[in-house]
Amino acid sequence: MTLARNRRGSRSGGGGAAARTAGLARATLVLAALASQTVSGAQVVPAQETAASKSISLTPRIVGGEVIDPVSEPWIAALVLTESGASSSTLCGSSYIGSAGGYQYILTAAHCIPDGSFSARAVFLSNDLNSASDSDQYSLTQGVGVRTHPDFTTASDNSLQNDLALIWFEDSNSKLSSAQVTLASSDFPRLSNGANVTVSGYGALEYGGPNDDLQLRQADLNIVGTSKCAQNYNGVFSIDADVQVCAAAPGEDSCQGDSGGPLMYTDTAGPIQIGLVSFGYECAVQGYPGVYTRLSSFENWINSTVLDTSGASSSTLTFSNGANVFAGEGTEQPSAATMQGLPSLLLAIVSFFLFGSISA
């Protein structure tokens, strides 16, 4: 089923046919001239977003980390987006957040969404996206609508904020009943510098590298204060603590193909998605944290969009207020780490944790 993209700020109506349209906003995508490979018989071409006016190349964005069993994070879906008429598809990360009105809702990054019409496939519990015989794997394929945040700002705006989108599907699977992720609510506390978080995805293992080892990996990161994070990106991108959160660890990061995937914090009650992969400087470059969309700022938008597009009066979405956050991790402080700014003449490659690509 084909999804269509509207201009920024436009909105669809309620349920039924109206719910099959979407108001979207994202920057222009340009396929990168990178090596392609084959995944389950389908061509893979990494993609790239460019901001020519800033001479900045924003490429897709797990480096380091380890392979994990998808069952440990059943809400994670490899999101395969195929533009109409295209011979290859784009790979992003995403998470299953719940259902309403018979639709299943997937959360991802706004910068992943193609400009034109496209089809979507959300692949769950895949041990290896290269394998066509994975018995645990299942997919949602009947995408009926997509909407990005109306205030999404693109790379050409010298910022990348409000970078989130929802895609909803009309097909379902019984396994989804135990796959829903808990989201950070609007009153979830800002985590302090050094708080432990994780990011997971099927993306590349190094900056500019191929997406040829498509297993789910997880990297252990630490929160970096947004004031220090903003200093690093000064003159390149503006960092807004109200809508963004930063995280980093030596030798570990999200990378190409991970865009839109979940940034998780686990408190004494369990895992909570506090962010989603947005952008950063290459992958795992020391001193340059990854930047994530702060989900606690978007509870109202997520809730209202789900109810608006489904035509339902309630949903299964679950939010946490962080009442069980570990002591000492509930107030964000500036990072004490020494980080150098980006070289002024080598701003050239600030990476999006965008995607590699994979074909359906």
CATH of the domain at 215: 2.40.10.10
Can you give the pLDDT at residue 8?
26
**Mean pLDDT within 143-149:** 95
Range scoring the smallest mean pLDDT among 215-224, 262-271, 278-287: 278-287
Can you give the pLDDT at residue 67?
83
Residue 357 maps to a domain: no
- What number of residues does the chain have? 360
For residue 82, list its beta bridge partners.
Answer: 119
Can you give the pLDDT at residue 204?
54
Q: Which of 12, 57, 99, 111 is catalytic?
A: 111
Residue of higher predicted confidence among 8 and 129? 129
pLDDT in tens, 163-185: 999 999 999 999 999 999 999 99
Collect all residues with Cβ–Cβ distance below 8 Å to 345 and sequence separation of at least 6: none
Structural domains in the chain (count) = 1
Give the residue from 190, 14, 180 showing the smallest Cα distance to 94: 180
Q: Which of 128, 163, 253, 308 is catalytic?
A: 163
| Boundaries of domain holding 44 | 16-352
Buried b (16+ CB within 10 A) or exposed e, 176-206: beebbbbbbbeebbbbbbebbbbbbbbbbbe
Per-residue tokens: 343: 């070289």
CB 303 within 8 A of CB 315: yes
pLDDT bin (cut points 50, 70, 90) of residue 257 is: low
Residue 11 maps to a domain: no
110 pLDDT higher than 50: yes
Kindly report the backbone phi and psi dihedral angles of residue 136, in degrees, each rounded to the nearest multiple of 5, phi listed first. -85, -20
Q: Which of 259, 278, 296, 357 is catalytic?
A: 259
Residue 279 maps to a domain: yes
Residue 70 maps to a domain: yes
Residue 3 maps to a domain: no
3-state secondary structure of 250: coil
Output the CA torsion sign for 230, 204, 153, 157: positive
DSSP string, 252-314: BB--TT-TTPEEEEEETTEEEEEEEEEEEETTT-TT--EEEEEGGGGHHHHHHHHHHHHT-S-
Collect all residues with Cβ–Cβ distance below 8 Å to 17 and sequence separation of at least 6: none
- Report for 19-23, 59-63, 149-153, 182-186: range of highest mean pLDDT: 182-186
Residue 138 maps to a domain: yes
Per-residue tokens: 169: 């599907």
- Report for 127-136, 283-292, 294-303: range of highest mean pLDDT: 294-303
Residue 7 maps to a domain: no
Residue 10 maps to a domain: no
Can you give the pLDDT at residue 2?
67
DSSP string, 59-85: -B--BSSEE--GGGSTTEEEEEEEETT
3-state secondary structure of 33: coil
Can you give the pLDDT at residue 216?
86
For the chain, the straight-line distance linking the first and the last C-alpha, in angstroms and rounded, comes to: 13
- Look up 259 and say whether it is catalytic: yes
Kindly report the backbone phi and psi dihedral angles of residue 157, in degrees, each rounded to the nearest multiple of 5, phi listed first. -90, 10
Q: In the chain, which ranges are continuous DSSP H helix?
A: 226-232, 299-310
Q: What percent of the chain has pLDDT over 70?
A: 64
pLDDT in tens, 174-214: 999 999 999 999 999 999 988 999 998 886 554 454 555 67
Collect all residues with Cβ–Cβ distance below 8 Å to 13 and sequence separation of at least 6: 19, 21, 308
Residue 284: Cβ-neighbour burial (10 angstroms; 0-12, 13-18, 19+): buried
